């Protein structure tokens, strides 16, 4: 082995050879021990024991002091976050992260006080971290997505969102997943990594929503009357906001009907009830005003050759 190192680097070869030559072997230790009498052995064991005992005492003191400082820092950060009214999800995540990091630093410090080389432990933790990171790449992506969601808040608990092909109310935002509850009370669990990289539609962010209707009347019906009737329906519903003002427009002349589009603004919580109530009232009362809903029609012309 030394010859091989010599062929690569003579200086390195010399240092390694000298180190191997000066490192005591088990046989050398046994010979030295056989030359010592009982008093010398006892003296060395006692000295080593006292030295180890002192290190343990110091390590325990470091642990107690360090634990006190970790708890103190935890309380200070917790009180600061509560005074600033930080979101509860972010609060819990930051506090757990701070405690974990501080305890890791404390453990490394205690290992160093005991006289153990900490560089090997740091390297071991780093290697383990790389291996775990490769094995849990998807989980770590979800964790990072959860952190991004908690920090930038594209949605919060109680919002109605649409993402990943589903829609529902946000029931809970976890570190790895977001839990939605659909209108028919189904629970949907979506990984945060997917949400952080996908388009998210938040229907509750602005507080108000626009309701759109499209009603068809027959050709020959009075458009002005239809517009007046729809205006009356809107004015009668106190849930519909006056600002922005509602709009009623003739959208297009379709094959079998005249399409009238109605747009009105409501509070987010009133969206569905206003939508369905207007549909029901139009169906029940349009006929009373001489307005009809046309069926699809096709004119067939027969000619003789």
* pLDDT reading at 274 higher than 70: yes
> Which pLDDT belongs to residue 144?
82
- Would you tell me how many other CB atoms lie within 10 Å of the CB of residue 212? 11
- Using pLDDT thresholds of 50, 70 and 90, give the confidence band for residue 6: very low
User: For residues 136, 138, 140 and 142, what is the CA-based torsion angle, rounded to 10 degrees?
Assistant: -150
Backbone angles phi, psi at 159, to 5 degrees: -75, 150
Q: Using alpha carbons, list the distances in angstroms from residue 137 to 61, 78, 193.
A: 39, 30, 11
Reported as a pLDDT band with limits 50, 70 and 90, residue 101 is confident
Query: Domain 148-202's class?
Result: mainly beta
Domain segments of the chain as ranges: 34-113, 148-202, 208-289
Pick the CATH number of 208-289 from 3.30.2320.80, 3.90.1150.10, 3.90.650.10, 3.30.70.100: 3.30.70.100
Q: How large a percentage of the chain has pLDDT more than 70? A: 75
Rounded Cα distance between 73 and 95, Å, is 10
3-state secondary structure of 162: strand
Domain 34-113 has CATH 1.10.3470: no
What's the pLDDT score for residue 109? 83
- What's the pTM value of the predicted model, to 2 decimals? 0.53
Domains 34-113 and 208-289 share a fold: no
Higher-pLDDT residue of 153 and 125 is 153
Alpha carbon distance 210, 234 (integer Å)? 13
**Minimum mean pLDDT range among 122-136, 154-168, 276-290:** 122-136
pLDDT at residue 305 tops 80: no
CA dist list (Å): 168 to 152, 155, 210: 20, 12, 18
What does the pLDDT read at residue 197?
85
pLDDT recorded at residue 121: 62
Q: Taking the mean position of all CA atoms in its chain, how far away is CA 58? A: 42
pLDDT at 104: 80
């Amino acid at each position: 082995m030394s010859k091989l190192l010599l062929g690569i680097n003579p200086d390195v070869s010399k240092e390694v050879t000298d180190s191997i030559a000066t490192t005591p072997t088990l046989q050398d230790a046994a010979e030295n021990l056989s030359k010592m009498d009982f008093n010398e052995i006892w003296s060395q064991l006692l000295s080593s024991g006292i030295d180890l005992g002192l290190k343990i005492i110091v390590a325990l003191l470091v642990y107690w002091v360090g634990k006190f400082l970790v708890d103190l820092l935890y309380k200070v950060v917790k009180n600061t976050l509560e005074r600033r009214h930080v979101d509860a999800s972010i609060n819990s995540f930051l506090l757990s992260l701070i405690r974990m990091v501080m305890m890791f630093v404390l453990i490394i410090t205690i290992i160093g006080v005991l006289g153990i080389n900490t560089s090997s432990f740091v390297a071991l933790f780093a290697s383990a971290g790389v291996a775990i990171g490769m094995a849990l790449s998807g989980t770590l992506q979800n964790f990072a997505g959860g952190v991004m969601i908690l920090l930038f808040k594209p949605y919060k608990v109680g919002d109605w969102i649409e993402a990943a092909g589903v829609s529902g109310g946000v029931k809970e935002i976890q570190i790895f997943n977001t839990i939605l509850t659909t209108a028919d009370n189904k629970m949907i669990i979506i990984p945060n990594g997917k949400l952080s990289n996908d388009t998210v539609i938040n229907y509750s962010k602005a507080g108000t929503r626009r309701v759109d209707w499209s009603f068809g009347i027959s050709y020959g019906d009075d458009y002005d009357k239809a517009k007046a009737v729809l205006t009356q329906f809107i004015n009668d519903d106190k849930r519909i906001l006056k600002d922005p003002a509602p709009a009623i427009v003739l959208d297009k002349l379709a094959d079998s009907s005249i399409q009238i589009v109605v747009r009105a603004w409501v509070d987010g919580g009133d969206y569905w009830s206003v939508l369905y109530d207007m549909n029901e009232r139009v169906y029940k009362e349009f006929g009373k005003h001489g307005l009809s809903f046309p069926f699809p029609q096709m004119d067939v012309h027969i000619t003789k050759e």
